Chains A and B, each alone.
Chain A
Amino acid sequence: MFQNTKCECGHQNPTGTVLCEACGKPLDEKEAGGTDLLEMRYDGAARRSQKADPSIIDQVWNFFSSVKIAVYLIIITLIGASLGTIYPQEDIFLSNMDMASYYKDTYGTLGSIYYKLGLSHTYESWWFILLLVMIGTSLVICSLDRVLPLYRALNKQQIRKHESFLQRQKAVYTGATDNGEEFIALFAKQAKKRHYKVTRTEDALLAEKSRFSRWGPYINHIGLIVFLLAVLARAIPSWQLDEYVTVPEGDTVRIENTDFFVKNEKFTVQYYKDEELPAELRGTNRAKLYRTDAVLYRCLADCGPSSPEPKLEQVASHDIEVNSPLEYKGLKLYQFDYDSTPVLREVSPMLIDKQTGKQYGPFKLAMKNPQTSYELGPYKLELRQNFMEFAIGEDGKPITKSRDPKAPAFIFLIKGPGLSEEGEPYIYFPMQKDKAAFSQDKLNKGIADRFEIKVGSMTDVKFVEFTTFLNVRVDKAMPYIWTGLAISMIGLIMGAYWQHRRIWLRLDGNAVTIGAHTNKNWYGMRADLAAALKAAGIQVDPKSLDNGGNRT
């Protein structure tokens, strides 16, 4: 389709221009004869994408350049996102269970369909990421295609506009004046008072305010692009660390994939006291505080997992609470969970000769990698076997059910005066409950009448009361994420809380024609115009400047 892009004022406009770049006269033949309000977006400039003969690249470009497409993308994304909230997403489950049957068992057939459609991991699905990528593309191309023409249009505005351009603005005043020169001067003075930037010629005036707010949306879009790129950058493996460490109280534990160690000096859990709770919550355990007093070490040498003594240097310490992680050079340790099951660490029992009443010891018996022989007075104990969670197997032999000291048992050979040469076996259960449950004395048979191994008091038993679980994180993309969001926010504020207002005035002999435009807040725009008119000696009701209805 051929379109004449040369305006009658002599200006040659690029293809796609709606309003002449110079005088503002509508270029379209049909549009030129009309009296409707003008469409003022991008000041009627040609968008970059509009070209007479599009190639494939142009077509792709035009697709992403369309705001209509952008809105469709937004709507599809929001519908897609909402689908992911119908049932819980897979990633909230920590364990490695069979997800297909979980969804079926918990939510029935619908749950099964939900799982099969891949909606149980909506936000990691290819189509959701594709939508986000397309929105990102649209952000770049839409903005680029609009901001440059708009910049050009606003940068070289002609002051005296075509009459039809003024008449077809949304706020219009037409009248007459005896003294055009004075009228313009007074009008300009008032406009300046209201912080307008005024430029004028002999018979025309342009007053403009807060042009920068026009850049708000584009700055916002730049911020969003930075944000999306930062999110993408989180895929760089060395930028990410997400580990969980289990640290029993008092222990120092290596943090996987780093050269750091963390020590749990003390773990505290507090509950609200009854008098702190309202009546209906009394008697419940409402948590008040979870805290790990943690120390972070950097390992200098001998750091391997099998190294018995790594060389550590303290680099940071912090009382980690929920909402208060330990931070050290981008490494963050978060309070994640805790376990209050006591874990036995070490006992210091005595060997008691039941016949003489003599006591030998105490000797230190660690649950993990214990010493294997002990000299106690005339007696010698040789540790022969240990079981972390003692049980009797199917074949009647003792076995262990796990590798954690839940029900530890130790088999010693006792040698010494009055005992056989090769020694006599003695089984020892450090925990009272196991001693009773497995009837230690019965297992020991005869020797139980002569000897007993037992702890003197609770001070001879070492427990770990709490185990804390910490989440260790590195996310090097975070600064860029915050930067993107900050830029975006600045753009939003610029665009939303300021309005670009312009008033054009044109004198034709005695006739005054004024048109005004703003991108939002016409109420304020009309008030400004009315105030300037008043200063120039014309009293009008601001509402009367309204040139008629919105397009609905």
Chain B
Amino acid sequence: MRGSARRPVQIIILLGVLLLGGYAIGKTLFASKEGLPSPGDTPPAFTLSTLDGRTVSLEEYKGKPVVLNFWGSFCPPCVKEMPEFERQYEKWKGEGLEILAVNLSEDNLTVQNFVAGMGLTYPILRDVDKDTERRYKLRQYPTTFFIRPDGKIGEVYAGGMKEADIDERVQRLLKD
């Protein structure tokens, strides 16, 4: 391999190193954090049934601003913020805002009783066996994702929200 083959071999090996090594190092720099989907990410897809028996998937809402809220009746801040969301829904419905409230895998009876007492008009989705919640890597309840019309996450908020909090975010969402 003296002479003619030498240079190509060198170049191939160095290129290979650059490619593989670059990939390995790049991966450490842009490592996907083991946490919530963050702004700019595409939210994990799901298909869930609503309280009234319809099936809803997230992709149907592409093109519309969506507020995706995870809640459970066992979580006081979740319960507290639900009427606030209802008021916001009433306010922005006309502009095309959609709210999807995913229940955290509770019982039929529990959810029905709970929602009946609240008078909520936005759709309540039923997660099963913590499947969707796990895919969104939730660690804290409630958590709310503001999804832009282009289908990407605009903002994420962990913890209970006041109407003003929701309002300013929805406005940003509608501006996009």
Contacts and interface: CB of A to CB of B under 8 A. Distances in A.
Q: Do chains A and B touch in the complex (CB under 8 A)?
A: yes
B25 A133 contact: yes
A384 B108 CA distance: 11
Interface string A82-114: 000000000000001000000000000000000
A60 B14 contact: yes
Interface residues of B, number: 41
Interface string A111-155: 000000000000011100110111011001100100010000000
A229 B107 CA distance: 49
B88 interface: no
Given A400-B73, A401-B74, A61 B10 contact: yes
B134 interface: yes
Contacts of A386: 107, 109-110
Nearest to A148: B1
B29 A126 contact: yes
B159 to A, nearest CB: 14
B45 to A, nearest CB: 13
Given A124-B28, A133-B17, A388 B74 contact: yes
B104 A385 contact: no
B107 A369 contact: yes
Contacts of A124: 28, 31
Contacts of A401: 74
Contacts of A137: 17, 21
B98 to A, nearest CB: 21
Given A48-B6, A254-B129, A133 B21 contact: yes
A5 B10 CA distance: 24
Q: Is the interface of A mostly helix, strand, loop or mixed?
A: mixed
Contact of B74 (A126, A232, A372, A403): A403
B10 A372 contact: no
Contacts of A125: 28
B28 to A, nearest CB: 5
Nearest to A366: B107
A461 B28 CA distance: 52
B54 interface: no
A256 interface: yes
Interface string B9-45: 1110110010011011101110100110000000000
Given A133-B24, A137-B17, A235-B27, A96 B74 contact: no
Nearest to A51: B6
Nearest to A134: B21
Contacts of A144: 9, 13
B74 A389 contact: yes
B33 to A, nearest CB: 10
B49 A306 contact: yes
Contact of B28 (A129, A136, A229, A389): A129
Contacts of A33: none
B17 to A, nearest CB: 5
B128 interface: yes
A403 B106 contact: yes
A49 B145 CA distance: 57
A97 to B, nearest CB: 10
B134 A96 contact: no
A306 B128 contact: yes
B128 to A, nearest CB: 5
A96 B126 CA distance: 25
B29 to A, nearest CB: 5
A496 B23 CA distance: 35
A402 interface: yes
A305 B128 contact: yes
A530 interface: no
A372 B109 contact: yes
A256 B132 CA distance: 11
Nearest to A253: B129
A403 B128 CA distance: 12
B14 A96 contact: no
A147 to B, nearest CB: 11
B48 A232 contact: no
Contact of B48 (A306, A387, A389): A306
B73 A57 contact: no
Contacts of B10: 57-58, 61
Contacts of B139: 96
Nearest to A394: B76
Interface string A6-33: 0000000010000000000000000000
A368 interface: yes
A235 B24 contact: yes
Nearest to B113: A385
Residue among A14, A96, A125 with most chain B CB within 10 A: A96
A399 interface: yes
A445 B134 CA distance: 43
Contacts of A306: 48-49, 126, 128, 131
A14 B2 contact: yes
B65 interface: no
| Pairs A-B, 5 closest by C-beta atoms | A133-B21, A305-B131, A306-B128, A126-B28, A400-B74
23 contacts: A57-B11, A58-B10, A124-B28, A126-B25, A129-B27, A130-B25, A133-B25, A136-B17, A229-B20, A232-B23, A232-B24, A235-B24, A256-B134, A305-B128, A305-B129, A306-B49, A368-B107, A369-B107, A385-B109, A386-B110, A393-B76, A399-B73, A403-B107
Given A136-B21, A403-B107, 11 more contacts: A124-B28, A130-B25, A134-B21, A140-B13, A232-B23, A256-B131, A305-B128, A306-B128, A306-B131, A370-B109, A402-B74
